[in-house]
Structure 1
Amino acid sequence: MNLGALGLAPAAVSILIIAACSGPNDNDTSDGGAESGSEQTLQLGNPDEPPDLLPYDSHGGKEPVFAAILTPLIWVDSAGEWHSELLESWEVSDDGLTVTLEMNSGLEWTDGTAVTSADVALTLEHNLDPQVSVRAGSLAGVVGAEEFLSGETEEIAGLTTPDEHTVVIELESPSVWLQDMARERIFVVPEHVLGDVPHDDLNDHEYFSSFPVSNGPYKFVEWESGQHIELERSDQWSLGEAGFSRLFIKYLPGDVANAQLETGELHYYDRVDPSDADRIAEFEHVEIQSTTGVSQSPVWGLMYNEPLLDERVRQAMAHAIDRKGICEAAFNGFCTVPETNIPHIAPEWALPDSGITVYDYDPERAKELLKQADWNSENELIFLSWSEPGGPRDRALEIAQANMADVGINWTIENVDLPTMNERNEESPESFHGWEGAGGNFAVDPNFVRELTACDKHFPMGANRGHYCNEELDDLWSAGSSETDQEERARIYKDAFRILNEDVPNIWMIIPDNIVAHDARLDGVNPETRVREIGDWSWEE
């Protein structure tokens, strides 16, 4: 099957580059400067220290580490372009039931063992298990997976390796399984190290604390908790030579990162507060790059229970929030506003251009809808936020809170950490009415939205935190994912998005731009891919 037939057309992406006129700081004597010879150190900043280094979720603090020491199976960028260093080709059969992956030859782990189809098969096996990986829901539908996970069989019948370079995945029904896998950006693990480890023991296995065997441009050295992760160049990298002898990933709050960018102690930071971007661009040796974002953040998530069950109440909220004002005030204009309140970064072929409501800022319309719904302005609503205090998402939520209070919808924002929010979401979902969401890349295929809305994907079994349920919508997601005719798939998905537009299960507030600040001498940085191609970075000649 031609991948173009699955609607993988690239999206339009723009990149803005801002830099001060002067060159690098000639007086930079910091430890992380551009040293002569091969002894070069690169210093990256990240505000989110991961809780662990298990490669089975998408925690933002893990991406720089895994991008440096491991290799993803396959991934798709925001422009819809497919990438893989491990695979020579990937193909879906005409009936949509078989995915075939052909691997490149000559790839090795750092101990000299060849990277083979066995590594890929084990990696997929791990990610098909919901007790191991949060990605299991996205990758469901492989023949024999349920029987394997229940202990009925010792192997997954639909996951085979005919030879060392070929992986074949048989699906229970036609679906967009390959697109879902590519969107998840799964890092391959070594079968010769982990092949005999029971799934129940993976979380505590020593491999994930030291990574003695890896296959990326860098090797793991140590993790100083609360400080940094140190990596070193891998001389066994099959795909070339990394540009730096050492790499430090430093865990820093935004204000500290900004200060170290200015002094030259930090060379790269991709969590730039939009309100700081113009000031950072004035640093004489720092360059700012930005590009249209692909993730929605923040999302004002709504619990699908009283007093929010009436769709007119949720529609009123969408009209009450001044998203354009939030874009300017909280994100300094570095953002896009989804006024139709649907994930409009999905492929254009899947989005309806008629029969939808534009939720522009209209407080009077919001009041009308609340009156129709007999809304009680005495209702007190609880919203759980995990944003960094004072950050752009936090500022956006406070403005939205004030906007809704102006029309008689009163929220109290409780600041919690993410584990606490997860615990309350699972154990007492009736104790709150809204929650902060973030992320979501629907550019590969819009069926991913199913993970956020399906009746059988309620958290923690899926990403549907609000427990929203519309069986008609579920039927459309199922039909769209199994339909191989492009025009028919487009029609189905457009109907699905019309339902989301009317129901307003969540409020998609802002799509922030990707903003990257880096030393102007650093070559290879792309704000679209961020750290994903870090093996190609080096100092400019």
Structure 2
Amino acid sequence: MRIRTWLGRKVLASALLGAGLALAPVAARAQPTDRAAEKPLRLVVNVGLQVLDPIAGTSFVTRNFAYMVFDTLVAMDSQGQYRPQMLQGWEVSADGLTYRFTLRPGLEWHDGQPVTAEDCVASLKRWGARDSTGRRLMGATKELRATGPDSFELELSRPYGGVIDALGKPSLHTPFMMPARLAATPPTQPVAEIVGSGPFLFVKEEWVPGERTVFRRNPRYRPRDEPADGLAGGKVAHVERAEFLTITDPATRAAALQNGEVDYLEYAPLDYLPMLRRDRKLVLAKPGGIAQIMGAVAVNHAQPPFNSLPVRQALQMALDQREVVAVHGLPPDMTRVPCQSMTMCGTRYSSEAGGEALREPELERARALLKQSGYNNERVVFLHPADSALINPMAMVVADRVKRAGFNVEVQTLDWATVAQRWLSRAPVEQGGWSLVPVIYTGFDMSEPLSNPGIGYNCTGSAPWLYCDEALKPLLERFEAESALEKRRATVAEINRRALANVNFPLTGQFSSPAVWRAELEGVIDFGFPVLWNIRRAAR
């Protein structure tokens, strides 16, 4: 077993777990201290941080990073409601076509410059050129303009029912604010420096890409007066230093947490859940609904063989959600399979319309569909991100079932950073392209149709999978124009039917993967992904 060199020495994690031996330090002890506020708060992230720009980047770890150093105009609270964050508030015209926003006073960038309305307008335009929801909002916008140093307006050209929802979008891609000079960077190109206005400062000189990211408390940050609630409220940093660490081996992650070398795991190693649940020194999160995870397979619709709908239908019939999710060995209360809702089961837009035939997938039926499709044994390049503790075991089951259905599968085992680069390629598989990528998303990404990776990117050409269903276009337009919740839900049912029929983004199962942290941490916000403000260490 390989353990990162920064752990200090090579040890067997299984032995550590059994004997309770102390793990070697996971970071340099340059400035030891007994003061609780100055002891680094250490979070183990699921995969290593490689990309820092939350608009150019596409990974959850980049989003987690961004919440440390950037801030948002609007934020989602623990009840799923949207509240002002950088904004003092907003007003909407009587016809619903003009939104007037005012920034709260005293906001500063990390370089000491004031946050201005011009910065926010530039940031929204950059986000709007990259994100699926942002593109739709900008497409419905007549003008977005600053009206003063701390005020700006968004004037719509047509009704758009989810303006505030869009500005408060909690996950990929989140509309984080940055200085206008940085927001002038093309959205697919990472910004040259990290300057935010959030509660922590990025310590660039200590960053080891893929292994360690270091933050310091931002002494100039002015949190909101109200208590922290989800992503909203007062983001008070109680620790002077925080770190994101990467530990690829699940057993080593568990050992590091139990021995107090790290404080918080973004995802508890699922194989060790029974042991972690019994440990009174630890607290497990309780994710449900929007905080759960959905597995899926990103399909390259632009290249053979999956540019053929009948071939995609054969693939979809081969995927048994029960078998895929069972690989994690989760208790029944942590799974929700089968679920054929593109917007996740248990969320406000949940609908399984059109999924009836997929509840009982059959390999024999998949083989028959594949034979009828005219598939000619074309090579299927399956990119397998082996360093993701969640995706890796599910990917092995998916690859096996696709092979057993009769596809000519070539599994290429890579790290996630390499997969994320490879799937941007639009080349044929013979020239380094790809066919299938197993992925996971949370309900924060899946539950809103316009941001959903299997719905919201329809015919935009801005996502790697490049699906395009003409019949889906008017449904999405109807959804975005509507503001009444019940009418939106009825439209989502039709959207779900179309997305499943076109096999945009076949689902592999919904489940919980809880975070876990040491019980000595107080004020941890159990939201569904890690935020490190509001956390204190219990006094000893």
* Paired residues for 1:438-453 under 5 Å: 438-439=440-441, 441=444, 445-449=448-452, 452=455
Distance in 2 between residues matched to 1:81 and 1:136, nearest whole Å = 19
Q: Which residue of 1 aligns with 2:16?
A: none
Single out whichever of 76-85 and 247-256 deviates more from structure 2: 76-85
Corresponding letter in the other structure for 2:150:
H
Quickly say closer, same or farther: Cα 1:53–1:420, change in 2 above 3 A. Answer: closer
Question: Quick one: which of 259, 268, 272 aligns to 2:268?
Answer: 272
Q: Shift in Å at residue 94 of structure 1?
A: 5.4
* Paired residues for 1:397-476 under 5 Å: 397-416=395-414, 417-424=418-425, 426-428=426-428, 432-439=434-441, 441=444, 445-449=448-452, 452=455, 456-458=459-461, 462-463=462-463, 465-476=464-475
Give the number of the structure with larger relative contact order, counting CA–CA contacts within 8 Å between residues 6 or more apart: 1
Corresponding letter in the other structure for 1:525:
V
Q: Which residue of 1 aligns with 2:10?
A: none
Native 8 Å contact 2:254 2:269 kept in 1 = no
Instruction: State the Cα RMSD in Å.
Output: 3.7
Native 8 Å contact 2:345 2:351 kept in 1 = no
Native 8 Å contact 1:522 1:537 kept in 2 = yes
Q: Which residue of 2 aligns with 1:263?
A: 259
Distance in 2 between residues matched to 1:409 and 1:64, nearest whole Å = 37
Once the two structures are superposed, residues 182-215 of structure 1 have per-residue CA deviations (whole angstroms, 9 ceiling, x without a partner) of 2243222235xx37x853699576532xx4xx43
Distance in 2 between residues matched to 1:244 and 1:92, nearest whole Å = 39
Report SS of the residue matched to 1:189: coil
Report SS of the residue matched to 1:230: strand
Once the two structures are superposed, residues 367-421 of structure 1 have per-residue CA deviations (whole angstroms, 9 ceiling, x without a partner) of 58527x6256872541432422583322212223333444444533223422442
Distance in 1 between residues matched to 2:187 and 2:314, nearest whole Å = 48
Once the two structures are superposed, residues 508-539 of structure 1 have per-residue CA deviations (whole angstroms, 9 ceiling, x without a partner) of 1123324112111111223324333x221111
Distance in 1 between residues matched to 2:466 and 2:124, nearest whole Å = 28
Corresponding letter in the other structure for 1:230:
V
Distance in 2 between residues matched to 1:109 and 1:166, nearest whole Å = 17
Native 8 Å contact 2:299 2:505 kept in 1 = yes
Question: Quick one: which of 194, 206, 219 aligns to 1:223?
Answer: 206
Single out whichever of 197-206 and 385-394 deviates more from structure 2: 197-206
Report SS of the residue matched to 1:415: strand
Q: Which residue of 1 aligns with 2:8?
A: none
Q: Which residue of 2 aligns with 1:166?
A: 151
Corresponding letter in the other structure for 2:518:
D
Once the two structures are superposed, residues 138-178 of structure 1 have per-residue CA deviations (whole angstroms, 9 ceiling, x without a partner) of 5432646xxxxxxxxxxxxx122223332211223222343
Q: Which residue of 1 aligns with 2:15?
A: none
Native 8 Å contact 1:67 1:531 kept in 2 = no
Q: Which residue of 2 aligns with 1:246?
A: 241
Q: Shift in Å at residue 303 of structure 1?
A: 3.3
Native 8 Å contact 1:96 1:173 kept in 2 = no
Q: Shift in Å at residue 82 of structure 1?
A: 1.9
* Paired residues for 1:77-116 under 5 Å: 79-93=79-93, 95-110=95-110, 113-116=113-116
Q: Shift in Å at residue 181 of structure 1?
A: 3.1
Q: Shift in Å at residue 83 of structure 1?
A: 4.0
Native 8 Å contact 2:386 2:413 kept in 1 = no
* Paired residues for 1:41-56 under 5 Å: 41-56=40-55
Once the two structures are superposed, residues 485-514 of structure 1 have per-residue CA deviations (whole angstroms, 9 ceiling, x without a partner) of 444433333222112233322211123324
Q: Which residue of 2 aligns with 1:189?
A: 178
Q: Shift in Å at residue 91 of structure 1?
A: 4.9
* Paired residues for 1:512-531 under 5 Å: 512-531=511-530
Quickly say closer, same or farther: Cα 1:280–1:359, change in 2 above 3 A. Answer: same
Q: Shift in Å at residue 338 of structure 1?
A: 4.5
Corresponding letter in the other structure for 1:219:
L
Q: Shift in Å at residue 98 of structure 1?
A: 2.5
Distance in 2 between residues matched to 1:453 and 1:520, nearest whole Å = 39
Q: Percent identity among equivalent residues?
A: 17
Structure 1 length-normalised TM: 0.77
Q: Which residue of 2 aligns with 1:125?
A: 125
Question: Quick one: which of 208, 220, 237 aligns to 2:221?
Answer: 237
Distance in 2 between residues matched to 1:455 and 1:510, nearest whole Å = 22
Distance in 1 between residues matched to 2:91 and 2:33, nearest whole Å = 43
Q: Which residue of 2 aligns with 1:339?
A: 339
Native 8 Å contact 1:76 1:444 kept in 2 = no
Distance in 2 between residues matched to 1:331 and 1:36, nearest whole Å = 40
Does 1:495 find its partner at 2:494? Answer: yes
Corresponding letter in the other structure for 2:246:
Y
Q: Shift in Å at residue 66 of structure 1?
A: 2.6
Distance in 2 between residues matched to 1:360 and 1:202, nearest whole Å = 38
Native 8 Å contact 1:91 1:100 kept in 2 = yes
Native 8 Å contact 1:90 1:99 kept in 2 = yes
Does 1:179 find its partner at 2:165? Answer: yes
Distance in 2 between residues matched to 1:200 and 1:315, nearest whole Å = 37
Report SS of the residue matched to 2:122: helix
Quickly say closer, same or farther: Cα 1:390–1:72, change in 2 above 3 A. Answer: closer
Distance in 2 between residues matched to 1:432 and 1:65, nearest whole Å = 28
Q: Shift in Å at residue 291 of structure 1?
A: 0.7
Structure 2 length-normalised TM: 0.77
Distance in 1 between residues matched to 2:116 and 2:200, nearest whole Å = 20
Q: Which residue of 2 aligns with 1:361?
A: 360
Q: Runs of 5+ in structure 2 lacking a partner?
A: 1-19, 224-233
Native 8 Å contact 2:90 2:100 kept in 1 = yes
Q: Shift in Å at residue 236 of structure 1?
A: 1.7
